[in-house]
Amino acid sequence: MHAVSTDFATKSFWLGNDEYTAGPSLEGDLEVDVAIVGAGFTGLSTAFHLHKADPSLRIAILESEVVGYGASGRNAGFSMTKIGMMHSFTATRFGKTKAREAHLYADRAVTLLKDLIEELDLDCDYEHTGFLWVATSEKYSKRLLKEIALVHRLGLTGVNLIEHADLIERVNSPLYKGPAWWEPNTGILNPAKLSREWRRVLDGAGVPIYENTPVLTMDMAAGRQRLRTPHGTVTANKVVLATNAWTHEFPQLATKQVPVWTYIVLTEPLTDEQLDSIGWRGREGVEDFRDLVHYYRLTADNRLLMGGRDVGLGDGKGMGFDDSPQTWERLRDDIRAIFPGLRDVRFSHAWGGPVSATLDMFPAIGYAGSKDVVYSMGCVGHGVSTTHLNGQTIRDLVLERDTDLTDVFFVNRKLIPFPPGGLGHAVAGQIANFLRWEDRRLDVLG
């Protein structure tokens, strides 16, 4: 009998809401062409696209817990064009041309995910609702207007400015200030259902996923990587590290990213009266313009999910920081402040999960040391759709094909490393403190 992960159902409302039986773990040695470590959206999409490109490839996914255990089964389910932080930040860091390129990649990712859901009939409560970016202070409203103007100067289409009256008509909060960013080509979904639907598709294609199978060590040697797991060793020509916020646990990538936690609260299903007080007939995904944003949406059964407001940085070593009672309490207060009609709403769930942050908060995909090992990391809180397109990009890197995807500027880019040891954690702490200070100074929610 393989060990069965027992705590996954407590890791998010989504992961606990439907029955799930873990698949087999690896018992014995295995030889494959491509071993994929991690069964989140990155690993699952990579496996799907590799198998589609060459069905004769022997592929195996190794997952330390269960499919969707990481960020992919815990996120807020926004399929959106955000990539990295915001366009102005990307333009400052990489230049305007690359900021435009990044947006187009993310927009392509949203469309790809929508198409995959349709084509493969992935049952994940997908709704193509559009996305609203709102401001809750005059200062952030000014910044939001500048951001929309920049996007238009970059020649990007699909992002519209809607006036305040139109915003309030859609989602009614007394805290909203000024016009809003309105972007129709985005959606919301149930991420754990999506992860498990990927398992169904891969099971059908004969691509094995070994759950409860942590990779303990990776020995790299030309053309023959050896991955040690508790009950067997996998020998692979190529390895994909789709381990996201856990990636620093591999010594080869120890300083390239740090885990950062974001937290979510969920209400009971809203009554008709509570819903009427907000409007929200279009069920759009909403984010505010704070540095440490709030993100919120309705679920299929009309609960209000809100996450963000602060981040957790852990202790710079372990991964056990999924709970933050203090952040959850502040999020509950924020819901009541943003939507006074929900002052008596009851809350049913709270959870958190780690995202992967590089020092410049932008994704990075590439070869680790040799062309035999590919990594992907740094999607921060914006990976639901991009990870799906990243699966195609990683496919091309594994197959050593030069394509428009491998040409994208954040593939094989030079990453600024975090200082090693505790210093990396201290740097992340300083960045978070600055963002908290700015929000306290500039936003009514403090």
Ligand X SMILES: Cc1cc2nc3c(=O)[nH]c(=O)nc-3n(C[C@H](O)[C@H](O)[C@H](O)COP(=O)(O)OP(=O)(O)OC[C@H]3O[C@@H](n4cnc5c(N)ncnc54)[C@H](O)[C@@H]3O)c2cc1C
Q: Which stretch binds ligand X (CB under 6 A): 73-81, 265-273, 339-347, 396-404?
A: 73-81
Q: Which stretch binds ligand X (CB under 6 A): 17-25, 161-169, 376-384, 437-445?
A: 376-384
What gap in Å lies between CA 235 and CA 300, rounded to an integer?
43
Residue the block writes with tokens 């933050």: 324
Instruction: Give SS3 for 14.
Output: helix
Q: Which of residues 25-64 bind ligand X (CB under 6 A)?
A: 37-43, 62-64
What gap in Å lies between CA 158 and CA 69, rounded to an integer?
33
The minimum distance between CB 349 and ligand X, in angstroms, equals: 12
Burial of 337 (0-12, 13-18, 19+ CB in 10 A): middle
Which listed residue (130, 178, 259, 307) binds ligand X by CB under 6 A? 307
The minimum distance between CB 276 and ligand X, in angstroms, equals: 26
**366 makes contact with ligand X (CB under 6 A):** no
Indicate the residue among 28 and 155 with the shorter CB distance to ligand X: 28
The minimum distance between CB 272 and ligand X, in angstroms, equals: 26
Which listed residue (20, 69, 182, 339) binds ligand X by CB under 6 A? 69
Which listed residue (248, 381, 405, 428) binds ligand X by CB under 6 A? 381
Q: Which of residues 107-166 bind ligand X (CB under 6 A)?
A: none
Q: What's the token pair of residue 138?
A: 């005059």
Q: Which of residues 287-306 bind ligand X (CB under 6 A)?
A: 295
Which listed residue (23, 49, 60, 65) binds ligand X by CB under 6 A? 65
The minimum distance between CB 300 and ligand X, in angstroms, equals: 15
What gap in Å lies between CA 66 and CA 243, rounded to an integer?
13
Which listed residue (25, 75, 186, 267) binds ligand X by CB under 6 A? 75
The minimum distance between CB 31 and ligand X, in angstroms, equals: 18
Q: What's the token pair of residue 45?
A: 């999409």
Instruction: Give SS3 for 35.
Output: strand
- C-alpha distances out from residue 88 to 143, 285, 417, Å: 10, 21, 22
Indicate the residue among 177 and 199 with the shorter CB distance to ligand X: 199
The minimum distance between CB 261 and ligand X, in angstroms, equals: 7
The minimum distance between CB 245 and ligand X, in angstroms, equals: 6
Pair type for strands 59-62 and 209-210: parallel
Residue the block writes with tokens 């919301």: 188
Q: Which stretch binds ligand X (CB under 6 A): 112-120, 242-250, 366-374, 435-443?
A: 242-250
Longest dimension (CA), the chain: 64
Indicate the residue among 214 and 314 with the shorter CB distance to ligand X: 214
What gap in Å lies between CA 170 and CA 283, rounded to an integer?
9
- Helices within 308-421 (DSSP H only): 325-338, 386-398
- Helices within 379-421 (DSSP H only): 386-398
**378 makes contact with ligand X (CB under 6 A):** no
Indicate the residue among 129 and 262 with the shorter CB distance to ligand X: 262
**355 makes contact with ligand X (CB under 6 A):** yes
Output b/e per residue, 404-439; b: 16+ Cβ within 10 A. ebbebebbebebeebeeeeebbeebeebbeebbeeb
Q: Which of residues 218-237 bind ligand X (CB under 6 A)?
A: none
| CA nearest to 73, candidates 20, 137, 36 | 20
Determine contact, residues 345/334, Cβ cutoff 8 Å: no
Indicate the residue among 352 and 424 with the shorter CB distance to ligand X: 352
Indicate the residue among 179 and 183 with the shorter CB distance to ligand X: 183
| CA nearest to 33, candidates 232, 219, 235 | 235
Q: Which of residues 243-282 bind ligand X (CB under 6 A)?
A: 243-246, 262, 264
How many residues touch ligand X under the rule CB under 6 A: the total is 42
Instruction: Give SS3 for 197.
Output: helix
**373 makes contact with ligand X (CB under 6 A):** no
Residue ranges that bind ligand X, judged by CB under 6 A: 37-43, 62-65, 69-72, 74-78, 80, 214-215, 242-246, 262, 264, 295, 307, 352-355, 379, 381-384, 387
